[in-house]
Chain A
């Protein structure tokens, strides 16, 4: 089955700096890669996603890049703010094929933005 590895496990950045989180996946059939932000005591919230036919996607201060050949994808947060402090999860799935909506998650990255 699919295996997703995420690095680093913790990331401390100064407010205003950029943060980068990297994930690798094992199943070349995976074609959908979402990112979730989970604040303490809250639900994981979808913040951005990318499909395998796209190499990069941007939404304001966040962007995701995908390298299908190397089977890795990354989340970039620019101009970090204290409210960006949270745990971020990457995930992969093979949608909408037979695998349905089964997401395989990375282990998470705890991001701390220091003011």
Chain B
């Protein structure tokens, strides 16, 4: 089976702009979650979607949002970008509890 895919892989944005990241889960996986990875804070959970419903949310401001479509594909959006949002954003899909990560989107905010 193909793994989790994410687009784009790299992104450079300016403070104040917004960004949308996309994720396609492993075929058959209905749970999609998003994580932020930074050198300072490590791997932090953003949110999880299951059957188009947000099932879990981490401790991030409301500028971070997401959604899931009927085909399980997911998008996350960050509005009013700040310099501190520069990070690797990892999408993951899971089945029976095992969580598998995509390659990530490297977001740089200047």
Whether the pair B33, A43 counts as a contact (CB closer than 8 A) is no
- Taken residue by residue from 12 to 43, chain B's Cβ proximity to chain A (1 for < 8 Å, 0 otherwise) reads as 00000000000000000001010100000011
| Shortest distance between the CB of A4 and any CB in chain B (Å) | 10
The answer to whether A43 and B55 have CB atoms under 8 Å apart is no
CB pair A46–B45 under 8 Å, yes or no, is no
* B103 and A102 contact, CB distance less than 8 A: no
Q: How many chain-B residues does the 8 Å CB contact rule pick out?
A: 23
**B42 partner, pick from A32, A49, A105, beta carbons under 8 A:** A105
Does A102 lie within 8 Å of B90, measured CB to CB? Answer: no
Q: What is the size, in residues, of chain A's interface with B at 8 Å between Cβ atoms?
A: 25
Contact of A44 among B44, B50, B55, B90 (CB under 8 A): B90
The residue of chain B having its C-beta at the shortest distance from the C-beta of A96 within the complex is: B97
Contacts A32-B97, A34-B98, A107-B42 given; does A100 touch B55 at CB 8 Å: yes
- Binary CB contact string for chain B from 79 to 100 against chain A (1 if under 8 A, 0 otherwise): 0000000000010101001111
B residues touching A (Cβ–Cβ < 8 Å)? 31, 33, 35, 42-45, 48, 50, 55-56, 58, 90, 92, 94, 97-104
Task: Pick 8 A–B contacts, CB within 8 A, sort by A.
Answer: A46-B100, A49-B98, A93-B97, A100-B31, A100-B48, A101-B55, A102-B45, A102-B58
Q: 16 additional contacts, CB 8 Å, given A49-B98, A102-B45?
A: A34-B98, A42-B103, A44-B101, A46-B98, A46-B100, A89-B42, A93-B97, A96-B97, A100-B31, A100-B55, A100-B56, A101-B33, A101-B94, A101-B97, A102-B56, A106-B42
